[in-house]
């Protein structure tokens, strides 16, 4: 019996030692960030983090652009869970499956690493609309139900969900006019064809400065440095709990070791804390987020529940 014990312990110690050495040796080859098309918000996030990892940790990261969140997520979900293929995605990763069948399951196929960025929306109106506050907008919308229109991106986009959540919580009916992108709704808003919009900061900020649009509030739970001086919708309209934004994060294929996820989380958050990285995101109208895998998982769970409620109560159906 004692002879067996003498031989078993060295074997176990060797295995554990090899695992520790392998984890500490990560990465031993280039990483791949799979994300959406060149120029998209996730492309900015992926390339900024990739460059930051090269500068701070000496890691080689290749950005692999794919045509859509669906294509990128499906590819990443099928990758080996070894920490070398990661997905950089928007919230479409977990919101999309609520509207249509996807070739992946966000809960089963991915492990969160960290959130990277958040893009708040700004509630704006055409200057011809006789309102200068969110409460005045709500009062006008209640007095003229179904007469005001808002522009948004495609169904299920952050700008669309922000608007429908506002309708539900404020008890109003501002009619959705969808466009292929939120940017596409800006031109008719400027001309007065539309009256209201939850626009991305990048799309509407310059028009607010020029006076062609009037800003009322930001959609995030806290005031945003991207929209200085503006109150939150929740505070301005006494709608506690109102919060909406577009987020992006980094995810690993399910089954990736916790040691690797922890290492990635630490290194990426270190990158996000660098002043030059914060400045680059800020210049693209995006806020830095960061956080632990557990915080990401909790956020996704909450956001999925909120999105599901909006879809159900607003009667949103996927485009056919």
- The torsion angles phi and psi of 135, rounded to 5 degrees, stand at -65, -40
% of the chain surpassing 90 pLDDT: 85
Taking CA atoms, 236 is separated from 27, 62, 232, 245, 276, in Å, by 48, 44, 6, 17, 33
**Residue 199's closest CA among 231, 141, 152?**
152
Domain boundaries, the chain: 2-119+246-310, 120-244
Does the pLDDT of residue 15 top 50, yes or no?
A: no
Contact 167, 251 (CB under 8 A): no
Q: What is the pLDDT of residue 23?
A: 52
Which residues, listed in sequence order, are joined to residue 124 by a DSSP beta bridge?
A: 197, 215
Give pLDDT tens digits for 36-95: 999 888 999 999 999 999 999 999 999 999 989 999 999 999 999 999 999 999 999 999
Helix (H, G, I), strand (E, B) or coil at 173: coil
The band of 319, judged by pLDDT with boundaries at 50, 70 and 90, is low
Give pLDDT tens digits for 100-157: 999 999 999 999 999 999 999 999 999 999 999 999 999 999 999 999 999 998 888 8
Distance in angstroms (rounded) separating the CA atoms of residues 148 and 141: 7
C-alpha count within 13 angstroms, C-beta hemisphere, residue 153: 16
User: In this structure, what token pair is assigned to residue 125?
Assistant: 């109106």
Contacts 24+ apart (CB under 8 A), 299-307: 299/115, 299/247, 300/94, 300/106, 300/112, 303/91, 303/94, 303/95, 303/247, 304/94, 304/95, 304/98, 306/165, 307/94, 307/95, 307/98, 307/161
The band of 18, judged by pLDDT with boundaries at 50, 70 and 90, is very low
Q: What is the pLDDT of residue 318?
A: 73
**Residue 244's closest CA among 258, 229, 234?**
234
pTM of the model: 0.88
**Helix H or strand E segment including 269:** helix 258-272
Q: Pick the more confident residue, 224 or 18.
A: 224
Cβ contacts of residue 277 below 8 Å, gap of 6+?
Answer: 48, 49, 52, 271, 288
Q: Do domains 2-119+246-310 and 120-244 have the same CATH topology?
A: yes
Under CATH, what is the fold of the domain 120-244? D-Maltodextrin-Binding Protein; domain 2 (3.40.190)
**Residue 33's closest CA among 73, 88, 112?**
88
**Residue 63's closest CA among 50, 76, 54?**
50
Distance in angstroms (rounded) separating the CA atoms of residues 178 and 158: 12
DSSP character at residue 232 = B
- CATH code assigned to 2-119+246-310: 3.40.190.150
Mean pLDDT value across residues 9-17: 37
Q: What is the pLDDT of residue 180?
A: 84
Cβ contacts of residue 173 below 8 Å, gap of 6+?
Answer: 141, 145, 146, 167
Q: What is the pLDDT of residue 19?
A: 44
């Amino acid at each position: 019996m004692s002879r067996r014990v003498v031989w078993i312990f060295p074997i176990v110690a060797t295995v554990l030692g090899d695992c520790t050495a392998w984890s500490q040796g990560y990465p031993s080859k280039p990483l791949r960030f799979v994300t959406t098309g060149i120029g998209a918000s996730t492309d900015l996030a992926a390339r900024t983090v990739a460059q930051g990892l090269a500068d701070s940790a000496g890691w080689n990261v290749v950005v692999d652009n794919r045509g859509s969140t669906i294509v990128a997520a499906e590819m990443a979900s099928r990758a080996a869970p070894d920490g070398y293929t990661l997905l950089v995605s928007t919230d479409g990763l977990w919101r999309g499956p609520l509207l249509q069948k996807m070739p992946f399951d966000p809960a089963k196929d991915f492990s969160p690493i960290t959130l990277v960025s958040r893009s708040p929306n700004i509630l704006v109106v055409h200057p011809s609309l006789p309102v200068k506050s969110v409460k005045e907008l709500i009062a006008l919308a209640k007095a003229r139900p179904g007469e005001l229109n808002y522009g948004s991106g495609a169904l299920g986009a952050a700008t669309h969900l922000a608007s429908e959540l506002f309708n539900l919580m404020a008890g109003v009916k501002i009619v959705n006019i969808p466009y292929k992108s939120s940017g596409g709704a800006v031109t008719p808003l400027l001309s007065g064809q539309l009256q209201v919009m939850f626009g991305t900061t990048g799309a509407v900020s310059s028009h607010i400065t020029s006076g062609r649009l009037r800003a009322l509030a930001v959609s995030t739970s806290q005031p945003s440095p991207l929209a200085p001086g503006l109150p939150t919708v929740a505070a301005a309209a006494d709608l506690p709990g109102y919060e909406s934004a577009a987020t992006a994060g980094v995810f690993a294929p399910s089954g990736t070791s916790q040691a690797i996820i922890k290492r990635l989380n630490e290194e990426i958050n270190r990158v996000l804390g660098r002043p030059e990285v914060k400045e680059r995101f800020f210049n693209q109208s995006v806020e830095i987020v960061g956080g632990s895998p557990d915080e990401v998982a909790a956020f996704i769970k909450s956001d999925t529940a909120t999105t599901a409620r909006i879809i159900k109560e607003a009667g949103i159906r996927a485009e056919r």
